[in-house]
């Protein structure tokens, strides 16, 4: 069986059986088990927010297993952690990404991911699959780890631990498998919903916010600003010449690379969007005129710093930039209009410069 392929049988810490890997409650299941599954399923499917789905899954399974700590992490097809939520003694805590990667490569979670079946560790001191990391690894004496399957792929790994050995039993593992089956559906739905939202708000070529989404985010920054905010408008100089001389595909390469440089140079907290054609916009919350000019100059310099590599060779690209703060502005449109006017002043003054 290859990594990430659906298992043909279930493997535990010391026993092997031919039961299905993702069971639902059997017809003769105790009423309490059925009620638990119904309650958990209702909670997991009541939200399309991925973090909330993961949080519900972890909170409820930790409570069911009376675990000391628990972790649920999304994984990609190669087993690389994408997202994680962890709790210890009822409180959220941070798990180092490097530690999670180690666990997925050489610990119990990696063993579960590689085989696609759950595992129960009765005593971590006696089980070579248990990899000790930080204080949680030193205090955990028993563990259970369950894969979350959906459409023949593992989406997540759930791990519960306890400070006492021999804490978890086989009945809990079966219940966790049933919960994981429902969680897989909820996680997939949340991921699909998130992707639809991303596609609706993101420019496909540049991966920046599209114009509508940029304006919505910038409006929030303007309306609820605790301090002054500013806007930057920029336009690629002589962009039409790239399309005319090299074709629109090369023009797309230029647009995508300029967008990448602008996003990186704008810094954290900046809202960056493709405003239209070869024009980009940046909204800066908590930024006055001097700070905005500094960001604008950093963006201009980042674009001009190196040629853009294309199939037609290295192309020198520059941008003209206009900056405006919100002094005297009644609406966001006032700020953007001023920045746009100054952008055209920059073009008239010779391009490759900042005005504002």
DSSP 335-351: HHHHHHHHHHHHHHTTS
- Rg (Cα) of the chain, in Å, rounded? 27
What does the DSSP 8-state code read for residue 326? -
C-beta of residue 332 within 8 angstroms of C-beta of residue 222: yes
User: Is 195 in the active site?
Assistant: no
Which among 121, 195, 194 has a CA at the least distance from the CA of 161?
121
**Residues with Cβ < 8 Å from 95, sequence gap 6 or more?**
71, 84, 86, 136
**Residues with Cβ < 8 Å from 110, sequence gap 6 or more?**
79, 103, 104
Catalytic residue among 174, 177, 257, 278: 278
Which residue do the tokens 């710093």 mark?
305
**Residues with Cβ < 8 Å from 151, sequence gap 6 or more?**
188
CA atoms within 13 A on the CB side of 61: 38
Between the CA of residue 37 and those of 145, 182, 300, 324, what are the distances in Å? 18, 9, 56, 56
Which among 273, 346, 349, 353 has a CA at the least distance from the CA of 318?
353
Show which residues are catalytic: 278
């Amino acid at each position: 069986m290859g990594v990430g392929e659906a298992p043909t049988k279930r493997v535990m810490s010391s026993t092997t059986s031919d039961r299905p890997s993702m069971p639902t409650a059997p017809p003769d299941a105790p009423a309490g088990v059925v009620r638990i599954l119904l309650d958990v399923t209702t909670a997991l499917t009541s939200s399309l927010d991925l973090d909330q789905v993961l949080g519900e899954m972890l909170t409820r399974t930790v409570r069911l297993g009376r675990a000391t700590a628990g972790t649920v992490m999304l994984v990609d097809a190669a087993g690389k952690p994408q997202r994680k939520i962890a709790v210890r003694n009822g409180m959220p805590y941070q798990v180092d990404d490097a530690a999670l990667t180690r666990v997925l490569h050489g610990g119990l979670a990696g063993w579960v991911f590689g085989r696609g079946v759950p595992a129960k560790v009765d005593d971590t001191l006696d089980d070579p699959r248990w990899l000790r990391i930080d204080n949680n690894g030193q205090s955990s004496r028993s563990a259970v780890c369950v894969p979350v399957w959906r459409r023949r792929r593992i989406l997540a790994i759930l791990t519960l631990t306890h400070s006492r050995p021999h804490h978890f039993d086989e009945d809990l593992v079966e219940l966790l498998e049933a919960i994981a089956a429902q969680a897989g559906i909820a996680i997939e739905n949340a991921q699909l919903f998130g992707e639809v939202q991303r596609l609706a708000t993101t420019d496909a070529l540049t991966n920046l916010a599209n114009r509508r989404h940029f304006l919505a985010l910038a409006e929030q920054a303007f309306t609820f600003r605790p301090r002054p905010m500013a806007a930057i408008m920029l336009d690629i100089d002589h962009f039409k010449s790239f399309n005319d001389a090299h074709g629109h595909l090369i023009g797309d390469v230029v647009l995508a690379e300029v967008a990448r440089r602008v996003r990186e140079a704008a810094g954290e907290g900046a809202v960056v969007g493709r405003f239209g054609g070869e024009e980009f916009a940046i909204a800066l919350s908590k930024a006055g005129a001097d700070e905005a000019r500094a960001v604008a100059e950093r963006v201009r310099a980042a674009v001009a710093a190196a040629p853009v590599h294309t199939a037609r060779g290295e192309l020198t690209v520059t941008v003209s930039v206009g900056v405006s703060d919100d002094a005297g502005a009644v609406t966001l449109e006032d700020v953007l209009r001023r920045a746009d006017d100054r952008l055209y002043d920059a073009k008239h003054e010779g391009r490759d410069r900042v005005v504002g």
